[in-house]
A and B are shown apart, each in its own frame.
Chain A
Amino acid sequence: MNPPVLETPPPRTWREIPQPITPRAMSREGRRRRALAAARTAGVALVALALGWGGVEAVAIWRKNPGALVAPTGGTALGLVTVRSDGVLGEEWTRAALALSPQARLMALDLAALRARLLVGGQVRDAELTRRLPDKLLVTLYERTPVARVLARAAGDDTPRTLLVAGDGTVFAGAGHAPEAVARLPFLGGVRLVREGEGFAPVAGMAAVADLLAAARAVAPRLARGFQVVSLARLAADGALVVSSDEVGEIVFAAREPFARQLARLELAFASARRQLAAGPLRVDLSLGGGQVLVARQTVAAAAAAGDGGLALPSLSSSPAERPSSARSLPPPPAFSSSHAL
């Protein structure tokens, strides 16, 4: 058994010597270091205080209104709306389409919903909306380019109105387009417009039409200017596009062959026929293949049947059974007058 240990207090050690800081005993460098240390301590304390206060505020806001944390700068009112477009639409149309309220807040805007509003008409192919802090909204529009027009009646409205059709078949109202530019577009025939929501379903086969018109403008601009109607009636069955032209009469293009080559043959055949045949409407068929061009003079009856271009308005009835199958009836077969092998 150990004797009881005498619990005497430990002797005083040097670590118990206080190490006070008395500015009078400090050197200039010491005072500078002390000031820096005090500033650092104050900075750390301030940061800690700010973090703590921020945390308390955040918790309070989270409990009271979590939405305020999602849009922390929701209080900033929307100022300028800047619009950039590669087409004809401007700021006025965009503001109308967006339908923003005057009290709209920049950070509270639902950009996805706004973008959907811009795409509704079909004229805008794509749209980008970007917030520019503090208060700007930048809208960039990518528009569809019309290649043809079509007359259509709205449901419950007997007044036909002109709609535009883009190369991808989208039918849209065509806001902002100049009337003279619209007047230069050929009409579309032989199509059925099917209502889809507020608009129409895309027209099938428009890619071929767009290619034909683009090739015509490039290869034979004079002939292209005379294109009145492009009919899609035989596209599905024969793979042929029938164009009514005020200069030639009727031209049948094969959709599967390059249009530029067909247009070249057309010009040559047209010039040759003009020399050999009397003036009058012709019917040129370029869809025979093998370089064959059928040039026929239309009969008077066929020409009369064609009338002012042979355009018939498509019905807007939703039932396919009630819709006309074609914009115009095909003319009777013309009498052969000559044939050219090119």
Chain B
Amino acid sequence: MLFRNKLVGAVEIGTSKVTVIVGQFARGRSLSLVGLGECPSRGVVKGSVTDFKAASDCVHHALELAEHSAGARIDEVHLAQSGAHLDGFQNEAEVRVSAADNMVSALDMDNVCRLAKSKQLPEGRTVIHHLRRPFRLDGRLVPDPEHLDGRRREVGYWTVHGDESRVADHIHVIRGFNVRVEELILSSLASGEAMTTPDDRQHGALVLDIGAGTTDFVLYRDGCALLTGVVPVGGQHFTNDLSLGLRLNNQDQAEKLKQHHGSAVAVSRDRADKVWLNGNLALGDRQLPRAAIEQITAARTRELFEVVRKKLGANYEPERIAAGVILTGGASRLAAVTDAAAQVFDVPARLGEPPAWVGDHLRAPGYSTALGLLLHNLGTPPEGSAAARRPTAGGLFRKLFSVRS
């Protein structure tokens, strides 16, 4: 039991659904996807838990389905974190190389990293990630300055933090299933991990995960995550806009219209081109102008992208985004969404593709975050790698005697 493969449940508690993918890690080097469980989400709004009982019920149900699908018990959970409460800031530190021969030592690196991460947060905020940017040694980018010759060493961190109580809510929902949360990973980072290649990240890429309640984004440059963010707008807002704009009482009807006739770019100009609301000619069925549907969805999409670009600010330089914009998430299935992204961001855009080895049933954009949760730590320790390199004490003892699954 102590030496068997580890089963990790990747859990994304989204606004529209809860997804759990079970991955089997063999010695931390290989990953097999062995189970899937999902169910409609309840008690979650824009990535935050608003009804603990309802959220727990659906998350636990999804976990049970995933365990049943995998045929084994989940050992630990990697949880995706999203929500409008998340924020980030950039913090940089610079130290002079201490050695007389100007050779950078491990101590220098630890010092500069600790300094860059030591910025205090307001009360009630907690750090989710410290995303390290490339080191600079005398102004030049170096992936690992240790043993190199230089005088001034700089490093920058993008620190992602969130509201502690909301993060704790997510964790407590999982703990109600008596399984421990071992990793908490930003949804945008997870999606980015699944949808981009190391080359994409090196050349520069912007990944947008358009979910039902939020849109998570991450900007990659020089192989590192430069900036992340969350916009509390998602596909559900498109549906709401359609419902309001077309005076529909039923959200399901608006959702169907969005999926079948919505477009991120308004193409239809013919006001006589109409589509049936239900298509069954039953009482209440009526015709709606296609152009109106497209205009609503296109306007909302463009607005969303513009908000993202505005949040990226000066960090977004189209000429340094060679891999373009990569779209994923359930709402990225909207027609012509890549065209709209290309127009707003001034770079080519495409729909994200998971790695080739992922099975067909998990290739839908809605699974990108859960997949990325499993891929995120595969073979590479998380940030704070200096600490991650150190062996943890008492692992065996904890496995034997801790009261957990």
A14 to B81, CA, bound (A): 11
A12 touches B127 (CB 8 A): yes
Residues of A within 8 A of B126 (CB): 11-14, 16-17
Residues of A within 8 A of B400 (CB): 41, 44
Q: Tell me if A340 counts as interface (CB < 8 A to partner B).
A: no
Q: Flag A20-35 by CB within 8 Å of B: 1 or 0 each.
A: 1100011101110110
Stretch at the interface among A2-10, A61-69, A192-200, A312-320: A2-10
A8 touches B120 (CB 8 A): yes
A19's closest neighbor in chain B, by CB?
B175
B63's closest neighbor in chain A, by CB?
A29
Residues of B within 8 A of A37 (CB): 178, 403-405
Q: Tell me if B276 counts as interface (CB < 8 A to partner A).
A: no
Q: Tell me if B73 counts as interface (CB < 8 A to partner A).
A: yes
Contact A30-B60, Cβ < 8 Å, known A5-B111, A12-B164: yes
A33 touches B73 (CB 8 A): yes
A18's closest neighbor in chain B, by CB?
B168
B403 touches A29 (CB 8 A): no
Residues of A within 8 A of B73 (CB): 33
A27 touches B120 (CB 8 A): no
A6 to B95, CA, bound (A): 12
B175 touches A20 (CB 8 A): yes
Q: Tell me if A1 counts as interface (CB < 8 A to partner B).
A: yes
In B122-137, which residues have CB < 8 Å from any A CB? 125-128
A2 touches B177 (CB 8 A): no
Cβ of B138 to closest chain A Cβ, rounded Å: 15
Residues of A within 8 A of B63 (CB): 29
B115, B177, B178, B402, most chain A CB atoms within 10 A:
B178
Contact A14-B128, Cβ < 8 Å, known A8-B120, A30-B60: yes
A45 to B96, CA, bound (A): 53
A256 to B167, CA, bound (A): 106
Q: Tell me if A300 counts as interface (CB < 8 A to partner B).
A: no
Contact of A1 among B96, B114, B119, B177 (CB under 8 A): B96
A45 to B128, CA, bound (A): 36
Contact A26-B177, Cβ < 8 Å, known A12-B164, A14-B127, A37-B404: yes
Contact of A8 among B118, B162, B403 (CB under 8 A): B118
A21 touches B96 (CB 8 A): no
Q: Tell me if A175 counts as interface (CB < 8 A to partner B).
A: no
A27 touches B128 (CB 8 A): no
Contact A17-B403, Cβ < 8 Å, known A8-B118, A11-B127, A30-B176: no
Residues of B within 8 A of A16 (CB): 126
Residues of B within 8 A of A45 (CB): 401
Q: Flag B88-105 by CB within 8 Å of A: 1 or 0 each.
A: 000000011010000000
A48's closest neighbor in chain B, by CB?
B400
Contact of A25 among B64, B128, B162, B176 (CB under 8 A): B176
B177 touches A27 (CB 8 A): yes
Q: Tell me if B171 counts as interface (CB < 8 A to partner A).
A: yes
A16 to B184, CA, bound (A): 12
Cβ of A1 to closest chain B Cβ, rounded Å: 7
Residues of B within 8 A of A27 (CB): 56-57, 60, 176-177
Q: Tell me if B237 counts as interface (CB < 8 A to partner A).
A: no
A16 to B127, CA, bound (A): 10
A2 touches B98 (CB 8 A): yes
Residues of A within 8 A of B175 (CB): 19-21, 25-26
Q: Flag B157-198 by CB within 8 Å of A: 1 or 0 each.
A: 001011010011001100111111100100000000000000
Q: Tell me if A304 counts as interface (CB < 8 A to partner B).
A: no
B121, B176, B401, B405, most chain A CB atoms within 10 A:
B176
Q: Tell me if B17 counts as interface (CB < 8 A to partner A).
A: no
Q: Flag B353-389 by CB within 8 Å of A: 1 or 0 each.
A: 0000000000000000000000000000000000000
A2's closest neighbor in chain B, by CB?
B96
B121 touches A41 (CB 8 A): no
B118 touches A10 (CB 8 A): yes
Cβ of B263 to closest chain A Cβ, rounded Å: 39
Residues of A within 8 A of B168 (CB): 17
Contact of B52 among A6, A20, A25 (CB under 8 A): A25
Residues of B within 8 A of A10 (CB): 114, 117-118
In B52-67, which residues have CB < 8 Å from any A CB? 52, 56-57, 60, 63-64
Contact A29-B167, Cβ < 8 Å, known A16-B126, A37-B403: no
A11 touches B121 (CB 8 A): yes
Cβ of B82 to closest chain A Cβ, rounded Å: 14
Residues of A within 8 A of B128 (CB): 13-14
Contact A33-B178, Cβ < 8 Å, known A19-B171, A44-B400: yes
B123's closest neighbor in chain A, by CB?
A12
A-B contact pairs, 15 of them (CB 8 A): A10-B117, A11-B159, A11-B161, A14-B128, A14-B162, A21-B403, A21-B404, A26-B176, A26-B178, A30-B60, A33-B73, A33-B178, A37-B178, A41-B402, A41-B403
Instruction: Known pairs A25-B175, A27-B176, A37-B404; list 18 more (Cβ under 8 Å).
Output: A2-B96, A5-B111, A10-B118, A11-B120, A11-B121, A11-B161, A12-B121, A12-B125, A14-B162, A14-B184, A20-B175, A25-B176, A26-B175, A26-B176, A31-B178, A34-B178, A36-B405, A41-B403
| Shortest beta-carbon contacts, A-B, top 8 | A33-B178, A13-B127, A27-B60, A30-B178, A34-B178, A8-B118, A30-B177, A26-B176
